[in-house]
Amino acid sequence: MQNIVILISGGGSNMAAIARTAQQQDWAGRHGIRVVAVISNQADAKGLGLARAQGIATEVLDHKGFASREAFDAELARVIDHHEPSLVVLAGFMRILTPGFVAHYAGRLVNIHPSLLPAFTGLHTHQRAIDAGCKFAGCTVHLVTAELDVGPILDQAVVPVLAGDTADSLAARVLTQEHLIYPRAVLAQLLRIA
């Protein structure tokens, strides 16, 4: 069995999309793949309730209780490793991870970013795409490396930037695509490393 652990900080819509797709497509029966845990650094993350409703184990590890990023990441890795993950999925986990943490999960740590990488790494991607006059925006699933948003690309989806778009309207259309490509990329990566 290949286990997926998903890390969230907020609403968990991408986590829910992955869990729902795994259930609908019977990843457990067909591929021996299951989402076993959702971990958040925020006790009030809405996504924790969504995970519990789908019967997925949840845990909270508050980063504010640790003296350093390194101490938090070391404990986070211990909590994750308890679930014996084949893949660790960042789904709106709003923490910059230490190089040691990233190295521990090398090749097994994926993220989704709301731009067509390598364009617009970091924050405020939708507004930056609009400001730059881009005709297209989108999202990218990539392997996580120590350098922010530059790991090998696993999947992408393109969304047109429409006249009159705001950052919010563009973000909403991009999110729809995130919910389609993230489950697909997660499954493909697990089948590759099986």
Rounded mean pLDDT of 14-42?
98
How far CA 186 is from CA of 13, 17, 77, 129, 144, in Å, comes to 15, 11, 20, 26, 13
CB 190 within 8 A of CB 87: yes
Q: Coil, strand, or helix at residue 11?
A: coil
pTM over the 0.95 mark: yes
Let me know if 194 is exposed, middle or buried by CB neighbors in 10 A (0-12, 13-18, 19+): exposed
Assign 194 a pLDDT band (cuts: 50, 70, 90): confident
Render pLDDT for 40-95 as a digit per residue (tens, 0 to 9): 999 999 999 999 999 999 999 999 999 999 999 999 999 999 999 999 999 999 99
What angle is formed at CA 19 by the lines to CA 112 and CA 49, rounded to 5 degrees? 100
Q: What CATH number was assigned to the domain covering residues 2-193?
A: 3.40.50.170
Catalytic residues: 113
Helix (H, G, I), strand (E, B) or coil at 17: helix
